[in-house]
Amino acid sequence: MQDPAAEGLRRPGASDGELQTAISQAIVEQTVADRWRFEDHAASVREVIFRLDRGALRVAEKQGAEWLVHGWLQQAINLYFALAPLEKYIAGDLQFFDKIPPKQHLGDFRVVPPGVVRYGAHVEKGAIVMPGYVNIGARVGAGSMIDTWATVGSCAQVGRGVHLSGGVGLGGVLEPSGARPVIIEDGCFIGSRCVVVEGVLVEEDSVLGAGVVLTASTPIFDVSGPQEVASKGRVPARSVVIPGMRPRKFPAGEYLTPCALIIGQRTASTDKKTSLNGALRDFGVSV
């Protein structure tokens, strides 16, 4: 098996700016020709994936109150799929045939068999990956739990102290470049079988009850006050959210369609664990 992290195959001395320029050139060459010359840019592509793997680069990062997406890193991942050879990977009696090997740089976090973290993903110290899956380009913060059969899609960003309960699915995104990935900020609790896709942002310390589905077009109604407040694509900090249904008229009649309901907020002044327990008790949220 080829080691994509081997120093001789990368550009360790290149600056981030030099790598970004090389990736842009590779994209242009790939666009104007049926194929691009791997030998001109392969080392730059491998260096980018290596830095994503080690946490030196990340696809999205918070700057002030906003999240900045580095689309050139998504482009680099797509180029790496074109560059990487199909190889056989063996784990005991199990065999796999793929382009991206499992992550090799382990030790600061737990991976419980048969959990998988793909090369090019970064998991910070103290996190736990149960038998789930973390895809290339994703990032998982320190102390977070990726519970059984939870999946973290390509480039998804999971903050610190987050709990993804069993069967949670976070969507991935590589195209179009610059598209915001799913982002779960610090301290969130995502209940069992929740699905968060299409670049939805769940802000810090929020709680999603079991079965909440959030897409870019899912209506989110804050019903905690005297009048509902509608939004899409973002769950405000410290929100407690449950699945809901709303009537909608179609040519064939009126039907109930899914939505999400913000029914309250976690208390900012209390300890996070106490606040979470209180939110679940006070609002009767199933997780």
Whether residues 111 and 195 share a domain: the answer is: yes
Mean pLDDT calculated for residue range 216-229: 96
Whether residues 172 and 41 share a domain: the answer is: no
**Domain containing 127 — which CATH number?**
2.160.10.10
Q: Please tell me the least confidently modeled range out of 40-54, 125-139, 158-172, 263-277.
A: 263-277
Whether residues 72 and 112 share a domain: the answer is: no
| pLDDT category of residue 51 using cuts at 50, 70 and 90 | very high
Whether residues 40 and 139 share a domain: the answer is: no
Q: Where in the sequence is the domain holding 15, given as residue range(s)?
A: 7-83
| pTM greater than 0.75 | yes
Q: Which of 83, 108, 134 is the last residue of a domain?
A: 83
| Residue 95 within any structural domain of the chain | no
Whether residues 148 and 230 share a domain: the answer is: yes
| Residue 89 within any structural domain of the chain | no
| pLDDT category of residue 36 using cuts at 50, 70 and 90 | low
Instruction: Give me the number of domains the chain comprises.
Output: 2
Residue 187's alpha-carbon distances to 127, 128, 183, 258, 270, in angstroms, are 13, 15, 12, 26, 13
Answer yes or no: are the C-beta atoms of 199 and 181 closer than 8 Å.
yes
Which 3 state secondary structure label does DSSP give 273? helix
Whether residues 159 and 67 share a domain: the answer is: no
**Domain containing 24 — which CATH number?**
1.10.166.10
Mean pLDDT calculated for residue range 240-250: 96
State the Cα–Cα distance between residues 99 and 90, nearest whole angstrom.
13
Mean pLDDT calculated for residue range 95-109: 90
Answer yes or no: are the C-beta atoms of 146 and 115 closer than 8 Å.
yes
